[in-house]
Amino acid sequence: MGELLTKYEFEIESLRVIPSKGGRFEIVFDGELIYSKLTTGRHAEPGEVAKLVGERIKKA
């Protein structure tokens, strides 16, 4: 999450981290699921989540 805050500190209005169980790691941007470890079956690669968030910021 630090990478997101560093890279997009002026674009991100709020960020919530919600702990969960069962190996779940999901990223939701403006109500849309943009990454799910459960769906992909793998951890996100370094920079992958920041890239996905950046793509959504550009669309907004």
What is the tens place of the pLDDT at every residue in 8-28? 989 888 888 888 888 889 999
Q: Percentage of the chain with pLDDT > 90? A: 50
Question: pTM value?
Answer: 0.81
- Reply yes or no on whether the pLDDT at 1 is more than 80: no
CATH for 2-59 is 3.40.30.10
Task: Calculate the alpha carbon distances from 20 to 24, 25, 58 in Å.
Answer: 6, 8, 29
Domain boundaries, the chain: 2-59
